Amino acid sequence: LQTRLNETNQYAEIHQLKINEEKTKIMSFNNTFKYDFLPKYFIGGKQLEVVNSTKLLGIHITSNMKWNLHTQKTVAKAKKKLWYLRRLSQLKASVTTLLDIYHKVIRSVMEQGAPIYTGGLTKTNIDEFESVQKSAFRIILRGRYYDYNSALNTLEQLTLEERRKNISLKFAKKSVSHPKMKHLFKKQLKTRTRGGEKNQDKFIEPRYKTDRANNGPVNYLIRLLNSKC
């Protein structure tokens, strides 16, 4: 990593860029937050801070590659925005207006960067996201809300889990032909397995030792693509 940092410094010097040491952090990806020692790296003689989590382009990333923190932060942010729906509901706004506000102001927050973390969400994470939509539908339908499933049918909406899957699949299809992404999606060369059975998968899914790695974003997108082959 120190070598890569040196290369970054050289690139910055060539292109007359300056790395801000105050904003540059080090994250050591590990399954536990306990370290026997902390890595030490320097830029311009200044030691970089080691962190266990960071926010990058709206996504909360932790060193153990779990999505509990991202779920917690995103759900909390979305719940605060439910105030808009409550206030507009008090002003007798129509269901169409309330639903439109929910889509643009609240749901959009929960779906930002969905292809990155969808494959790694736990059942608890999924339920936490879904609870926000349940609350929103209860506000929108007022006295006509009976349960979540009936609300989905009445408003003709999908669950957030289904929407994340559709968003991820759309992203995966675009990535296959993107110049900077297509190398991650390698096509199968053989059409049959060792047992002689026909291999239905179009793309090769890398295999790792841990479930967390196998549920990473690239593997998840490849599985989505293979499921639609």
CA distance 13 to 16: 5
Tens digit of pLDDT for each residue in 155-186?
Answer: 999 999 999 999 999 999 999 999 999 899 98
CA distances from 174 to 167, 171, 177, 200, 218 (A): 11, 5, 6, 21, 13
- Tell me the pLDDT of the chain averaged across its residues: 86
Burial 139-167 (b: 16+ CB within 10 A, else e): bbbeeebeeeeebbeebebebbeebbbee
Q: Are 21 and 9 in contact (CB under 8 A)?
A: no
pTM here is 0.82
CA distance 160 to 111: 8
CA distances from 162 to 59, 117, 118, 126, 167 (A): 20, 14, 10, 11, 9
Q: Which residue stretches of the chain have pLDDT < 70? A: 1-18, 31-37, 190-200, 229
pLDDT of res. 108: 96
